[in-house]
């Protein structure tokens, strides 16, 4: 009998990651992965199957209707995997608002609810919906689910989520939600499996990628996070500014005469590390460049991360553990070292050799804070949540 398969779609604003999983027991087993970067011309499906990798040219485009592109991707994947065995598809959805507190089956009703939250995540929500609708059009029989970046933070107290604005606006959904929750859920579980006593303490996880945020956990549950109402908030990112005085926005829209669209483009695409350095939003390029502007961008990045660690420690009433994850957090010792150096006063001491090796635990035995490096895997978590919803639905 052919193994049943499950697909995951992790759609960002400029790419989509696709996971191919074999349903085996309670945890789906990844057997392949693929990536389509929408900045490629022509579009290319970068496919990994075991140790082999393939670059497959695509004729489709990333226009409003993705059905043609998804159909082509399915045909290419079908030459490597038995897609007739696919029984479900799980999607990453950035915003669940207050409508979802966990993963959900995507029905007409829940898709409409996801769509109703589009104005809260105008860049990411439409992209996820396009893939959901394209898969539904091509394979209407598939059981589809959504995993939400916001639901992990549903355990936060109201005080953490509230903005100092009129109550009627809070009641209309203008509050701090937090994001990267799928990643935090995976890393929190991984820490609990590797070091259960550590995971029960006061932990701050730094998810550092092109999008970046930090999360405070107490006994594995989210209590506060650096991202708030939108994915623009918190620490500087590749092209996003992080925290910014709202008076700056009023100044841009008023005296400087910028339109809302101009400001949106500035905040999402031209700020952050790219804006400060004038060179790149990629920390690897900035570290290699080592010009004054690139150095300043790195210094600002690590300065804000360390400051946010301290703010989150205040929320928790202390800090026992700091965890680095995601692309930068997992693979760039220079960034971790610069953050840890600013936390020396808290008793954070790095083992330089372990840090250079990207080891699991990179703090010294004398460090008052244990410091860890744990890989994240959003697609694995999406696959597991998809399977759990499917099993619960019978």
Active site residues: 149
Q: What's the token pair of residue 233?
A: 């908030």
Query: 42: cis peptide before it, omega within 30°?
Result: yes
As a whole number of angstroms, the distance between CA 329 and CA 306 comes to 13
As a whole number of angstroms, the distance between CA 314 and CA 132 comes to 40
As a whole number of angstroms, the distance between CA 286 and CA 293 comes to 9
Q: Do 346 and 369 form a contact (C-beta atoms < 8 A)?
A: yes
As a whole number of angstroms, the distance between CA 311 and CA 228 comes to 14
Q: Residue 43's beta-bridge partner residues?
A: none
Query: 330: cis peptide before it, omega within 30°?
Result: no
Instruction: Strand 86-93: give its sheet, edge to edge.
Output: 52-57, 44-49, 29-37, 15-22, 5-11, 86-93, 143-148, 104-105
Measured at the CA of 57, the angle between CA 51 and CA 63, to 5 degrees, comes to 120
Q: Which of 314, 323, 96 is nearest to 195 (CA)?
A: 323
């Amino acid at each position: 009998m052919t193994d049943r398969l499950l697909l995951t779609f992790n759609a960002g604003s400029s790419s989509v990651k696709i996971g191919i999983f074999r349903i085996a027991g309670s945890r789906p087993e990844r057997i392949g992965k693929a990536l389509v970067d929408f900045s490629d011309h022509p579009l290319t499906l970068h496919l990994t199957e075991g140790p082999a990798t393939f670059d497959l040219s695509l004729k489709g485009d990333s226009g409003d209707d993705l059905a043609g592109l998804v159909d082509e991707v399915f045909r290419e994947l079908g030459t490597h995997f038995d897609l007739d065995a696919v029984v479900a598809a799980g999607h990453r959805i950035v915003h669940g608002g207050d409508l979802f507190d966990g993963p959900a089956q995507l029905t007409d009703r829940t898709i409409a609810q996801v769509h109703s939250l589009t104005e809260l995540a105008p860049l990411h929500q439409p992209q996820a919906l396009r893939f959901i609708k394209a898969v539904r059009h091509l394979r209407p029989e598939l059981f589809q689910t959504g995993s939400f970046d916001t639901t992990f933070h549903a355990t936060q107290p109201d005080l953490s989520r509230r903005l100092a604005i009129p109550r009627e606006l809070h009641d209309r959904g203008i509050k701090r939600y937090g994001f990267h929750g799928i990643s935090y859920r995976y890393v929190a579980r991984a820490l609990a499996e590797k070091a259960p006593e550590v995971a029960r303490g006061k932990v701050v996880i730094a998810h550092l990628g092109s999008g970046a945020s930090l999360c405070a956990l107490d006994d594995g549950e989210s209590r506060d996070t650096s991202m708030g109402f939108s994915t623009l908030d918190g620490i500087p990112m590749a092209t996003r500014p992080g925290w910014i005085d709202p008076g700056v926005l009023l100044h841009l829209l008023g005296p400087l005469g910028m339109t809302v669209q101009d400001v949106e483009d500035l905040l999402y695409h031209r700020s952050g590390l790219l804006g400060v350095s004038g060179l790149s939003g990629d920390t690897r390029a900035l570290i290699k460049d080592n010009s004054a502007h690139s150095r300043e961008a790195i210094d600002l990045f690590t300065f804000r991360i360390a400051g946010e660690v301290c703010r989150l420690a205040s929320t928790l009433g202390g800090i026992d553990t700091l965890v680095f994850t995601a692309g930068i957090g997992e693979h760039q010792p220079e960034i971790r070292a610069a953050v840890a150096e600013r936390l020396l006063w808290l008793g954070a001491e790095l083992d330089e050799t372990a840090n250079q090796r990207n080891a699991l635990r990179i703090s010294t035995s004398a460090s008052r804070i244990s410091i860890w490096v744990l890989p994240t895997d959003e697609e694995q978590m999406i696959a597991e949540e998809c399977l759990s919803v499917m099993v619960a639905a019978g």
